[in-house]
């Protein structure tokens, strides 16, 4: 019971973090048709920027500065890169972001080295939040949930209460119509792409110290969020939400279970599970959980 | 070439109580229609009547909401486009839909390969297939593009592209042909040529065509159906349709008004 | 396009390629060159097989290493069985086993991946790649864990004095297979399936309405392509005598994508050029600098942005100009642009290498670049390289305009001369 409760909380906080990433990816995909392969790289950049800022002026400024920096980089990438390859089609855009992911990983190697950096949870947030039976639940996990939920609420407000939000919403339900608007809205594209990058950066700020900040983190989390997008159904925010929580909980539970099957424990099989889920889903429900579009 | 007579005496194409809705919008509301083998049938109707949707339902591009579609007496409801095509029904598109990066010859060849049984073959050399060449050559001559054989489809003139669209559609030798506005956007002389083309390539075949140009319709069609708001309000010979007061009210009248206001 | 029983130009081309393959080790005889050329051979097969997906079928795959890697694993076990005497098969035929293994896995995974097209296909191929990679680490019994499975290619009695011990014999084995695979893959582009794969790439909807199941076309194309990927995996297993999880990793999958794209996706010979350039980057450049991946990534991005047809398209674009004897006019602007690019590159390389030196805490800040010794912490080199980069970029901007103007003028003339 105690195990169940703690793991569920952990799973939800991890799932929410995954949703911070997959929501940005989905929004950008829905509006621009661009599948940003470098999305997880923005997550990594967020973590590294936060590390750099927090070593000089502290964690709280980093929480604000790092996402802004990442968002600015995202906008630059959209303005000077994506816009150029846009005329070659969606596959070219995917190739471009793939190359970008490659480049960002190497740049991180270049600047911060190949091993992990010491990006720690700030002392104010270090410690137990409450105790369930005998286990203590860390404050930072609670803080992560708080930030994710706050972010989700603000996205929801932006989507429903602002003009740009209405454009994005229209894109979610009627992609052709917004495509018809096409080149009249390059600024919206830039803002949305930058916004998506900033969200990933924010996820990096709070995820980097909860887990580990290293050059391999983008390559580790990237495939998972792509799986989430496929499982949830391409372009569906609700689907991405369900899939994020599902995979977050699944991963958290799997790594802590030691039931074994044919000599392999569930914990050992944990890395395969999301991909297996994706493959099974594609066989039985090719559109994804909440997907409406054909690929 | 590949006529597949189903049940003897069955209509070539038959629709029974076909409905189609997108969300809560009802586009096709109970269409029943039987088209005899070898008949040239035109579907007319004002914009937004659901003509293209009806095509998409017959050719398998969209699934029907309810109802049945039969080809030579065989139920083809819910089949995929390629399955329907293999059963002998081929269609063209209102917006030119060809392989723009390929030459005229290659376009036609794409339409020929399946019907000659080469399917997914990876053991035949495509340039060595005499039968395919002969058939593609024949189709190119019929559509009058044999001189443009090695020109890329993307750089053809609009009328040529429309002709190629028809060529790709008939290349497989299907017994039933659906043409979606074959003369759309053409000049008067181009239209006259296109009508002759349609007439000659559908000789002995079953044809359904959607058309806006009334001259073309009354010239080509054996029978005409009038589709208004997803329902067929009349079907009959051209002179019957011309004389039908309901049609004049619902459609021809509207057209006259349009013409008057333009 | 017409039927020609004997295409002379094509025979000359293939004959020359074969001659180059035979003569290359005589011209570049150092062991370093030999290693590099052997790797180029396997990479050419791999890149061509990848282009069966990306170039001919329009399928962007992020998991192609799955087929070459699993083919390599099956081959390494087969080779070990041969070594134990439990299996009797001649070494030159082993790539066939690798190919068949690749094909079998192509059938298995292709069934899932090719259900979708476009960007969704790309994501699914990535997921399947990650799944296989995780599985490889999960079953150390078969896959040998992190260390991998090693083998010895010298098995049985030498045949006609050929034991496949010396590197030169492996080179010729790879070269023979490479030539055969090139010919086979070219032949496949000329079949009904090959042509319909192009049709499905360009306009899947129309392909469905001429009777083709696009899913089935993609599936068959992927299965055939994974056969050749398996062959290349088997050859790399014979060459390196070890197969590890790296063989199925995302790094490999990304590598073949980079190589193919850099070479030129729209042309059959593009991936061949790409494989040669890529291996040159990997083997030669990695010896000089730790930042080689960064340079490779930058090069790739430049190609995506400015030359989506790859090196092959850049070469082919010049042909009509050369044929019209107008290339001379372009030579000067090209030279200027090349000089500008070189200056910018020097600046960039200097900065990148200095950053690397500073981030590397183990070494000092003293460094040596092309015979120049300086301290990476002092200001002058930063200013110098920064100035080089800035000046180079500015000059590049100006010179590319010159090239563009000259190019446009020639193209207008050529168009005007056309009937």
Is there a contact between C156 and C82 (Cβ–Cβ < 8 Å)?
Answer: yes
Nearest to C211 among B114, B128, B129 (CB): B114
pLDDT attached to residue A178:
65
What is the token pair recorded at A284? 């039985």
Q: CB distance A92–C359 less than 8 Å?
A: no
CATH architecture of C8-293: Orthogonal Bundle (1.10)
Cβ atoms of residues B77 and B104 within 8 Å: no
Q: Is B163 left (phi over 0), alpha (psi -120 to 50) or beta?
A: alpha
Is residue B115 a part of any domain in this protein? yes
Q: Which of C211, C222, C415 to mutate to test the interface with B (most CBs of B within 10 A)?
A: C211
Q: What is the ipTM of this complex?
A: 0.90
Closest by CA to A192, choosing from A227, A167, A174, is: A167
pLDDT at C163: 82
Q: Show residues of chain B in contact with C192, CB under 8 Å.
A: 113, 118-122, 124, 126, 129
pTM of the model: 0.91
User: Could you tell me if C127 lies within 8 Å of chain A, comparing CB atoms?
Assistant: yes
Give residue A176's pLDDT: 64
Contact B17, B65 (CB under 8 A): no
Contact C194 B128 (CB under 8 A): no
Give average pLDDT by consecutive 10-residue segment, chain B, 262 residues.
Answer: 54 94 89 93 88 92 93 93 95 92 95 93 92 94 92 93 94 93 87 91 92 86 91 91 82 56 48
Q: Do B113 and C196 touch (CB under 8 A)?
A: yes
Q: Is there a domain that residue B125 lies in? A: yes
| Structural domain boundaries in chain C | 8-293, 324-417
Chains in touch with A (≥3 Cβ pairs < 8 A): C
Domain residues for the domain of B131 are: 39-53+82-224+238-261
C124·A282 Cβ contact <8 A: yes
In the prediction, which pLDDT does A58 show?
Answer: 87
More confident residue, B132 or A280: B132
C192–B124 C-beta distance less than 8 A: yes
> Parallel, antiparallel, or unpaired for β A135-138 and C372-375?
unpaired
Per-residue pLDDT at C2 exceeds 80? no
Percentage of the residues of chain A whose pLDDT score is greater than 70: 91
**CA closest to C201 among chain B residues:** B99
Residue A182 reports pLDDT greater than 70: no
Is the pLDDT reported for residue A126 higher than 90? no
For the packed helices A139-161 and A163-173, what is the interaxial angle rounded to 10 degrees?
Answer: 90
Query: Is B3 part of a structural domain of the chain?
Result: no
Q: Are C265 and C51 in contact (CB under 8 A)?
A: yes
Distance (Å, whole) CA A92 – CA A33: 12
Residue B217 resides in a domain: yes
Is C1's CB within 8 Å of B102's CB?
Answer: no
**A223/C127 Cβ within 8 A:** yes
Q: What is the pLDDT of residue A105?
A: 92
Mean pLDDT of C368-384: 79
Closest CA to A30 of A170, A184, A148: A170
pLDDT value of residue A292:
61
Rounded distance between C-alpha atoms, residue C52 and residue C218, angstroms: 10
Dihedral of CA B77/B81/B85/B87: which sign? negative
Residue B10 sits at the vertex; the CA angle it makes with B5 and B16, to the nearest 5 degrees, is 125
Q: Chain A neighbours among C 136-155 (CB < 8 Å)? A: 137-139
- What is the residue extent of each domain of chain A? 2-215
For chain B, say whether C3 makes contact (Cβ under 8 Å). Answer: yes
Asked if A106 lies within 8 A of C116 by C-beta distance, the reply is: no
Specify the pLDDT at position A186: 74
DSSP B149: T
Average pLDDT score over chain C: 90
Q: Residue B102 maps to which CATH number?
A: 3.40.50.300
| Of A21-30, B107-116, B187-196, C368-377, minimum mean pLDDT range | C368-377
Could you tell me if B95 lies within 8 Å of chain C, comparing CB atoms?
no
Domain-located, residue B76: no
Residue of C191, C193, C199 lying closest to B99 (CB–CB): C199
Q: With CB atoms and an 8 Å threshold, state whether B122 touches C206.
A: no
Whether residues C118 and A90 touch (CB distance < 8 A) is answered with: yes
Number of CB pairs, chain B paired with chain C, less than 8 A apart: 100
Chain C residue numbers with beta carbons less than 8 Å from the beta carbon of B86 are 211
Chain A, 133-162: which have a CB under 8 Å from a chain C CB? none
Is A106 in CB contact (< 8 Å) with chain C?
yes
Kindly list the residues from chain B whose CB atom is less than 8 angstroms away from the CB atom of residue C55: none
pLDDT band at A120 (very low <50, low <70, confident <90, very high): confident
Q: What angle do CA C407, C409, C410 make, to 5 degrees?
A: 65
Question: Is the pLDDT reported for residue C261 higher than 60?
Answer: yes
Residues of C in contact with B126 (CB under 8 A): 190-192, 194-195
| Mean pLDDT score across all residues of chain A | 85
Q: How confident is the model at residue C47 (pLDDT cuts 50, 70, 90)?
A: very high
Does residue B15 belong to any structural domain of this protein?
Answer: no
B122·C205 Cβ contact <8 A: no
In the predicted model, what is the mean pLDDT of residues A17-40? 89
CA dihedral B10, B11, B12, B18 (to 10 degrees): -120
| Model pLDDT for residues C329-342, shown as the tens digit of each residue | 888 889 999 999 99
CA distance A16 to chain C (A): 21
Of A243-257, B118-132, C74-88, least confident by mean pLDDT is A243-257
Cα A136 from Cα C234, distance rounded (Å): 53
So what's the pLDDT on residue A70? 96
Which 8-state DSSP code applies to residue C28?
A: S
Q: In the prediction, which pLDDT does A151 show?
A: 87
Total number of domains constituting chain B: 1
Tokens of B146: 């044999």
Which of these ranges, A79-83, A156-160, B100-104, has the smallest mean pLDDT? Answer: A156-160
Give the pLDDT band (50/70/90) at residue A101: very high
DSSP β-bridge partners for residue B225: B43, B235
Restricting to C residues 265-294, those with a Cβ less than 8 Å away from any Cβ of A are 291, 293-294
CB-closest option in A226, A269, A283 to C126? A226
Q: CB-based contacts of B150: which residues, under 8 Å, 6+ apart? A: B103, B104, B105, C1
Mean pLDDT, range C261-279, rounded to an integer: 95
B80 reaches C (C-beta below 8 A) = yes
Give yes or no for A94 touching C (CB within 8 A): yes
Is A54 a residue whose pLDDT tops 70? yes
Facing residue for B121 by CB, picked from C191, C206, C212: C191
Tell me what the mean pLDDT of segment A46-66 comes to.
92
Please give the structure tokens belonging to residue C25: 């080790």
A172-176, B233-237, C113-117, C282-286: range with lowest mean pLDDT = A172-176
Confidence of residue A4 (pLDDT cuts 50, 70, 90): confident
User: Residue A294: which pLDDT band, with cuts at 50, 70 and 90?
Assistant: very low
Per-range mean pLDDT, top range of A68-82, A251-265, C311-325, C355-369? A68-82
CA trace torsion A237, A241, A247, A251 (10° rounding)? 130
Question: H or E segment at A293?
Answer: none
CB contact under 8 A, B171 and C217: no
- Tell me, what's the pLDDT at B7? 54
Q: Does C361 touch chain A (CB under 8 A)?
A: yes
At residue A263, the pLDDT reads 66
């Amino acid at each position: 019971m105690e195990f169940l409760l703690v793991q569920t909380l952990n799973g939800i906080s991890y799932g929410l973090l995954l949703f911070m990433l997959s929501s940005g990816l989905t929004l950008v995909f829905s509006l621009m048709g661009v599948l940003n392969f470098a999305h997880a790289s923005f997550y990594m950049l967020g973590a590294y920027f936060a590390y750099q800022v927090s070593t000089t002026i502290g964690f709280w400024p980093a929480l604000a500065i790092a996402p802004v920096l990442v968002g600015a980089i995202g906008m630059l990438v959209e303005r000077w890169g994506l816009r150029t390859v846009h005329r070659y089609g969606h596959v070219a855009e995917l190739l471009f972001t793939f190359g970008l992911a490659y480049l960002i990983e190497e740049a991180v190697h270049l600047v911060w080295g190949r091993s992990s950096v010491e990006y720690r949870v700030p002392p104010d947030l270090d410690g137990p939040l409450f105790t369930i039976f005998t286990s203590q639940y860390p404050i930072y996990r609670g803080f992560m949930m708080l930030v994710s939920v706050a972010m989700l609420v603000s996205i929801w407000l932006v989507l429903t209460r602002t003009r740009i939000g209405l454009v994005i919403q229209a894109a979610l339900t009627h992609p052709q119509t917004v495509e018809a608007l096409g080149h009249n809205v390059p600024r919206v594209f830039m803002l949305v792409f930058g916004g998506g990058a900033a969200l990933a950066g924010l996820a990096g700020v709070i995820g980097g110290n909860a887990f580990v900040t290293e050059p391999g983190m983008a390559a580790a989390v990237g495939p998972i969020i792509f799986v989430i997008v496929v499982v949830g159904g391409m372009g569906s925010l609700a689907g991405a939400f369900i899939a994020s929580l599902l995979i977050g909980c699944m991963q958290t539970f799997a790594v802590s279970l030691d039931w074994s099957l044919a000599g392999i424990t569930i914990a050992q099989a944990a890395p395969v599970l999301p991909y297996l889920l994706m493959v099974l889903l594609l066989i039985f429900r090719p559109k994804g959980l909440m997907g409406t579009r054909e690929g | 070439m590949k006529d597949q007579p189903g049940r003897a005496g069955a209509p070539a194409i038959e629709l029974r109580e076909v409905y189609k809705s997108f969300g809560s919008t009802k586009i096709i509301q109970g269409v029943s229609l039987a088209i005899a083998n070898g008949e040239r049938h035109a579907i007319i109707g004002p914009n937004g009547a659901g003509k293209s949707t009806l095509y998409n339902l017959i050719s398998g591009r969209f699934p029907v909401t309810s109802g049945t579609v039969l080809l030579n007496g065989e139920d083809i409801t819910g089949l995929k486009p390629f399955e329907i095509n293999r059963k002998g029904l081929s269609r063209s598109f209102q917006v030119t839909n060809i392989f723009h990066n390929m030459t005229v010859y290659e376009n036609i060849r794409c339409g020929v390969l399946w019907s000659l049984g080469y399917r997914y073959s990876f053991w035949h050399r495509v340039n060595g297939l005499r039968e395919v060449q002969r058939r593609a050559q024949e189709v190119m001559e019929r559509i009058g593009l044999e001189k443009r054989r090695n020109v890329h489809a993307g750089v053809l003139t609009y009328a040529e592209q429309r002709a190629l669209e028809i060529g790709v559609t008939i290349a497989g030798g299907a017994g039933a042909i659906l043409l979606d506005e074959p003369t759309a956007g053409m000049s008067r002389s181009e239209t006259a040529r296109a009508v002759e083309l349609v007439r000659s390539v559908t000789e002995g075949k079953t044809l359904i065509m959607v058309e806006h140009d009334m001259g073309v319709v009354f010239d080509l069609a054996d029978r005409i159906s009038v589709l208004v708001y997803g329902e067929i309000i009349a079907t009959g010979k051209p002179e019957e349709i011309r004389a039908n007061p309901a049609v004049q009210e619902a459609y021809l009248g509207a057209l006259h008004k349009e013409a008057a206001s333009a | 396009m017409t039927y020609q029983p004997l295409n002379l130009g094509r025979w000359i081309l293939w004959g020359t390629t074969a001659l180059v393959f035979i003569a290359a080790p005589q011209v570049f005889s150092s062991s370093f060159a030999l290693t590099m050329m052997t790797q180029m051979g396997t990479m050419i097969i791999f890149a061509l097989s990848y282009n069966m997906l990306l170039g001919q079928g329009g399928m962007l795959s992020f998991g192609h290493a799955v087929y070459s890697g699993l083919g390599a694993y099956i081959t390494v076990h087969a080779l070990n069985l041969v070594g134990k005497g439990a299996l009797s098969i001649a070494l030159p035929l082993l790539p066939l086993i690798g190919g068949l293994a690749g094909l079998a896995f192509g059938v298995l995974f292709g069934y899932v991946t090719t259900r979708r097209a476009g960007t969704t296909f790309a994501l699914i191929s990535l997921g399947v790649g990650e799944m296989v990679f995780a599985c490889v680490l999960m079953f150390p019994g078969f896959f040998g864990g992190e260390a991998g499975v090693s083998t010895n290619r010298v098995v049985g009695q030498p045949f006609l004095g050929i034991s496949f011990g010396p590197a030169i014999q492996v080179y010729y084995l790879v070269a023979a297979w490479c030539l055969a695979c090139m010919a086979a893959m070219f032949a496949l582009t000329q079949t009904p399936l090959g042509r319909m794969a192009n049709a499905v790439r360009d306009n899947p909807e129309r392909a469905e309405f001429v009777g083709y199941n696009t899913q089935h076309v993609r599936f068959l194309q992927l299965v055939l392509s994974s056969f050749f990927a398996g062959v290349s995996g088997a050859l790399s297993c014979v060459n390196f005598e070890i197969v590890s999880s790296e063989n199925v990793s995302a790094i490999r999958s990304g590598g073949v994508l980079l190589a193919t794209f850099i070479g030129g996706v729209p042309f059959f010979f593009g991936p061949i050029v790409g494989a040669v350039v890529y291996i040159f980057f990997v083997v030669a450049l990695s010896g000089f600098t730790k930042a080689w991946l960064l340079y490779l990534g930058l090069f790739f991005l430049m190609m995506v942005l400015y030359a989506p047809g790859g090196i092959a398209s850049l070469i082919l674009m010049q042909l009509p100009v050369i044929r019209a004897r107008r290339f001379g006019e372009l030579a000067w602007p090209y030279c200027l642009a090349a000089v500008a690019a070189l200056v910018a590159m020097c600046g960039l390389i200097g900065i990148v290498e200095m950053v690397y030196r500073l981030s590397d805490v183990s070494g000092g800040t003293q460094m040596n670049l092309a015979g120049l010794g300086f301290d990476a912490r002092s200001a002058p080199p930063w200013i110098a390289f920064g100035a080089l980069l800035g000046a180079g970029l500015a000059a590049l901007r100006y010179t590319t305009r010159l090239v563009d103007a000259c190019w446009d003028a020639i193209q207008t003339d050529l168009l005007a001369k056309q009937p």
